[in-house]
Every structure is written in C-alpha cells, then in structure tokens.
Structure 1
Amino acid sequence: MSVLEIIASPSLSKKELQKEMKKQNDADLALTGKVIASKARNSNFVFSPASLKSFLTIEAASASSATEERKAVFNETATVAFADGKANGGPKITAINGVWVEQSLPVDHSYKNLLVNVFKATFTQVDFRSKAEQVRTELNKWVSDQTNGLIKDLLPHGSVDNKTDKVYGNALYFKGAWEDKFSKSKTKDRDFHLLNGTSVSVPFMSSGHDRQYVQRCGGFKVLVLPFRQGLDINRSFSMYFYLPDKKDGLDNLVKKMTSTPGFVDNHNPTCRVKLGDLAIPKFKISFGFEA
C-alpha cells in the first residue's frame, strides 16, 4: 500500500485528483472483498487491484467509454506512484502494461496513441493466426524480464491459439529497503495462529527499533512500516499490517476494510509509539484465479 503526495494533472486540479484517487482506493478495496469472498475465503491470498484496473481502464478506452477522470488517475498512478525510484535511492519499481493485437485486425491510430502516451503501454501487432505458440513464448519472456525472473510461464500451453485476437499484459514489480532494518540475528521461530484454531512455528523478524507507527482501533491494530525513500520527496511507500485483537477476528476485519469508505485514510498511523515487542512473520505467497 502506498502513501503519496499528488502532483496536479493538466486535466484535473490537485483537489479533484485527490478526490478521485480516494474513490479509486475505496473501489479497489471493494473489488478485493469480492475476490476474497468468491475465490480466496479463509486462505492465503495476494491480489493487485492496480493490475486488474489497468486492464479494465485500457479496455474501456478501446471502447471510448473511459472518463477523463479515470484516465487522469491512471496517468498519475503510472507516472508518479509507479515511477522507478532506484536511481534516487528509493524503491525499485517496474510497472509495465502491454497490449498485443492480431496484425490482420484494423487498429485506430488514436487508440494506439492513447495506449502508448497516456497508459504508457507497450503496443505490438503480432501474428496470432500462424505463429500463436511463438507469440505465447515471447509474451512469457516479456513477463519474466519485467519481474526479474520471478514470474515464468504465465501463459500456459494452449492459452494462446490462432483464434486469439488480443492479449493484455501487466507486470508490477516492487523491491524496497526498510527504513528501519531487521537484523537477521533477531529472527526467531514463534507460534503463528491459524484460522482453524491451531498454530505453526514459523520464523519471525524482530526490529531493534522500539518506536513504530502503530494505531489502536476498535477491535484491531494498524502497523505501518515505511520503506527507505531516498531523494524522492513527491511520494513515500509503506507496508500496512492490520491485526485483529481476536484470533478469529480476521473475517470481520476484512469485511470492515472492504466495505467502509475511506478505511485506509482513516486508519493511517502518523506518530511513532513505543512498543514492548514487535515480531513479523516471514512469508511467501503465490495465488492465481480466473478474473
């Protein structure tokens, strides 16, 4: 989750853009709630609303139904929030969109211009009709290259054939350093409580800093861990942790998060407080679903 200072867009004032961004945040959480309810209830889950929204906005643009507000928010996200900050000492970010269209189909020049200049997308006309398997391999390489090899063979064999007209691709890669580092020597096994009432022993990272951004709310706590910002003053990135007070309180917390307008903005710790103990489990999650 990112917190960023909004820079005014030519088509919208700064105030209007901030309002639209907040509306989009609420829409993202609502969408997340629907995916959890239908595909990932009571399971480990990772989901990028920004990636799915990229496809939906580009598809709407192809039908000339995307509003100026939506285009402005998309452009702001692409050029400010997802701009690579590695050179300035900030997080390494790669956010790429791609559109591949069958070469025999007519393509309006204004649509291509919109994709390249507004949506910052790669646009290529390819031969799906006679070289579908070759194109599939090239698309998988594109995804692998954009994610530093973390995502390989995204499109399985048979997913692209001679009847394919168009493929959308989105790759979002983030790698940042913590503002307050975790010491490897402080990583110890602890009990992690599962939804079924049992627990497992997993490695927990502990911080040597006893003052953290924490807020106590009704029935849950919020912890914010900032990433190192570097020289970039227009934005900052943080990871948010939401922890229910009750061991079986996760479901109710998720429902509250995904149905309450302004939830993120209203639960954003701004002051450091002293903690007696801070431990965060190390985790790796893989998840997929048919959108």
Structure 2
Amino acid sequence: MDVKEAVKRQNEVAMMVSRHLFSTIAKHSNSVFSPASMNAAFTMMASGPGSSIIADKILSFLRSSSIDELNSVFGVIATYVFADGSNIGGPTIKVVNGACIDQSLSIDPSTKSLFDNFFKAVLASVDFKTQFEELRKEVNSWALHHTNGFIKDLLPQGSVTDETIWIYGNALYFKGAWEDKFDRSMTNDRDFHLLDGTSVSVPFMRSRKDQYIQAYDGFKVLKLPFRQGHGDTSGSFSMYIYLPNEKDGLDNLVEKMASGLGFLDSHIPSQKVEVGEFRIPKFKIEFGFLATQVFNILGLDYVDMYQKAYVEIDEEGAEAATATAFVGVFGCAFVNRIDFVADHPFIFVIREDKTGTALFVGQIFDPS
C-alpha cells in the first residue's frame, strides 16, 4: 500500500472540489475550505456504525481502494500533519474528532475501540428523535471551542432533524509563524485590481529578501515556509500563492490546477531567487458552505457537509481554523530575478510538505 500515492489522489480530489466550489457557490468571491478536515470526517464516516450505507461511495469519491487504505492515510496525517509543534517553537495545531450516532444504530466494541484509540474521537450514542435541536447546538459549541472561537454556528437551524442518524465532525486550528517574518515598517497601502476593472487600496507586505518563487507557463508560485520547531522531525508547513500573469486569469488557473494530475507536487519552488518588486496583501477571510450541491455534481448524493473556515495572514504568519460536520439522514532550476506582485486575484494553499497534505485551499478576489 503506497500511502503517499493515496495522499496524492486525495489532493487531486481536493483540487476537483475546489474547482467546483470556486466556479459555483463561491464564483469570483473570497473563499476557503479545508480538504484535510473534510477527509478526516469522511474517513471516520466510512468506518462508523451503519457505514455500509455510504462506505463504497466515500471510497469512490476519495479514489481509495479500501477502508484500510483510508485509515492508513489518516494514521500518517495524524502523526505528521496533525502533530502540535508549539512546545518546540513550531506551528500550533489542534485537531479534534467526534461523532454522534443515533441510538437506533448499534455500536459494536471493535468500532468503539477504533474511534477511541485510533481516531481519538468521542463516539456518542444519542437520541436524535427527541433531542435533535439540543444536539445541533452542542455540535456548534464544540466547533466554537475547538477552533479558538473562530467557527461560529457551523450547523444552521434546520440542518439537524428527527430523521438525522449521525453527525461526524472534525475541528482543526492552525497558527504558524513565517520562517522569515515581514517587517511591519515596510507594509504600505497599494492598489489591488478587481475583476470589474476597479481597484481597492489594501495593505501590502513587502520584503527585499530572496524568496522561493518559480515562474511557469502563465503563472508564478510563491512558497512561504513556516518556522519549524527546534529538532522537529514531524511536519514541515508552507503557504503557497499561485498568481496568474493576467489580472483576470484566475479562472483558467483554477481549471489548470484541477485538471493536471499531481499539480501541487509538480509546482513547488525549489530554490530561493533574488526578487525585484515583491509584495503580497494582508488578508482575513471567513467562508462557510453546504457542500450538497458540489457533492451531487461529483456523484456523492445524499450527503450534507457543512464546513466553515477562517484564514488570516499578516507580517507575523498565518492563523487558520475550520470545522466540518457531515449530517446523515436515513437513506443517505535556474531562475533570474523575479517580480511577484500579488495585486490581482490569486489562489493560496496551506500545505504540509512531507506528506503533501493540503490543509486549506482558498482564493482571494478582494483582500479589503
């Protein structure tokens, strides 16, 4: 079993979901979602009580050969990606999993053991018939608490009913400092160009230091590594910005990223280069969506996925949080000096580099 290849396939699914999300629900607007959170909740759901109803569809959707492969990927990610490095100076990462299962479904001892010891998830037997609204509020409180207060009202009123049979949840919080922080005194306001031909004035971070940048056909990629902990042998995290050459080129770039196999792995700047003009905008975005429409398009019917995500970047680093809940109902080389001026719409990815796991994928159309 090649776990790294399985992670690559999951990343291809993530880019495919991104394409559908960015071209439908979030067309030409700031948005972000977390493939890592989605996949963690999917993996638990595939192994949970009553999973025979949905497991084959999940395996097909994530392009996985078996439940064992899904769980192997989860184990690697839990070890290398979800490991908190704050005690040794690395990124703060907090991940919590949980599931509420209606009491009409039996929970056998082996499943309980899997959730307790492998997923590190609370597996609770509940009564959705009479307590569905209380349980919805409990899940929202759980998400708020485990995302440092950033994810509010994950499940809207009406999302959980007396016909609900399960909720699988994942909450993820990330905070990392740049390996090379930006000098606040160099930040100044400049124009960011919008698709309608107008512009907005926003604060841009600047640097004269060499940067990991590489130019490709029609776009450039910037890699901003996060500081790793001292002697850290676990995760290695970076943020990538994919900047189209044309100011209105983001739609084409999204299509290219989703269509090319192994796109993320094959477009990684490998060396620092001397920069000419270099500036990227500070931004803070929040985005939430119900993925039913996206999943129906991709062939995964009868699954309601609610996800909210938050990302902020500034001179110090990046802070990001997400919560995901699945709600089920019965029946369901050599380079020259390069300019990198991110003054028009771009895509960003926060990624763990050793496994290639994408934690967050987003697009910025207006950082103001």
Instruction: Name the SS for the 1:43 alignment partner.
Output: coil
- Stretch of structure 1 that moved more, 154-163 or 85-94: 154-163
Q: Deviations over 1:200-250 (max 9, x none)?
A: 11111123x420000011111100000010121232100000111111111
Unaligned runs of 5+ in 2: 60-65, 292-368
- Name the TM-score, length of structure 2 as normaliser: 0.71
1:44 maps to 2:27: no
Aligned length: 276
Deviation at 1:290, TM superposition (A): 1.6
Q: Is the 8 A contact 2:81 2:234 kept in 1?
A: no
How far apart, in 1, do the equivalents of 2:164 and 2:13 lie? 30
User: Percent of counterpart pairs with the same letter?
Assistant: 53
Q: Which of 56, 76, 96 in structure 1 is aligned with 2:42?
A: 56
Residue matched to 2:222: 223
How far apart, in 2, do the equivalents of 1:170 and 1:287 lie? 16
Residue matched to 1:290: 290
Deviation at 1:175, TM superposition (A): 0.4
How far apart, in 2, do the equivalents of 1:108 and 1:245 lie? 55
Instruction: Name the SS for the 2:158 alignment partner.
Output: coil
The AA in structure 2 aligned to 1:46 is: V
Residue matched to 1:21: 7
Instruction: Name the SS for the 2:192 alignment partner.
Output: strand
Q: Deviations over 1:114-154 (max 9, x none)?
A: 23333332212223333333322222121111101111222
How far apart, in 1, do the equivalents of 2:5 and 2:124 lie? 34
- Map 1:130-141; keep pairs closer than 5 Å: 130-141=130-141
Unaligned runs of 5+ in 1: 1-11
- Map 1:152-167; keep pairs closer than 5 Å: 152-167=152-167
Instruction: Name the SS for the 1:242 alignment partner.
Output: strand
Q: Which has the higher strand share?
A: 2
- Map 1:67-86; keep pairs closer than 5 Å: 67=66, 68-86=68-86
Q: Is the 8 A contact 1:210 1:277 kept in 2?
A: no
The AA in structure 1 aligned to 2:253 is: L
- Name the TM-score, length of structure 1 as normaliser: 0.88
Residue matched to 2:241: 241
Q: Is the 8 A contact 2:98 2:169 kept in 1?
A: yes
Larger RCO (alpha carbons 8 Å, 6+ apart): 2
Deviation at 1:96, TM superposition (A): 1.9
Cα gap change, 1:104 to 1:27, in 2 (>3 Å): closer
- Stretch of structure 1 that moved more, 211-220 or 182-191: 182-191
Residue matched to 1:9: none
How far apart, in 2, do the equivalents of 1:228 and 1:123 lie? 35
The AA in structure 1 aligned to 2:33 is: F
The AA in structure 1 aligned to 2:7 is: M
Deviation at 1:104, TM superposition (A): 4.5
Residue matched to 1:173: 173
How far apart, in 1, do the equivalents of 2:235 and 2:105 lie? 41
- Map 1:207-286; keep pairs closer than 5 Å: 207=207, 209-231=208-230, 232-286=232-286
Residue matched to 2:359: none
Q: Which has the higher helix share?
A: 1
Q: Is the 8 A contact 2:209 2:274 kept in 1?
A: yes
Instruction: Name the SS for the 2:18 alignment partner.
Output: helix
Deviation at 1:40, TM superposition (A): 1.7
How far apart, in 2, do the equivalents of 1:200 and 1:49 lie? 30
Q: Deviations over 1:26-66 (max 9, x none)?
A: 22212221222232222211111222222322222222655
Q: Is the 8 A contact 1:32 1:49 kept in 2?
A: no
Deviation at 1:252, TM superposition (A): 0.8
How far apart, in 2, do the equivalents of 1:154 and 1:234 lie? 30
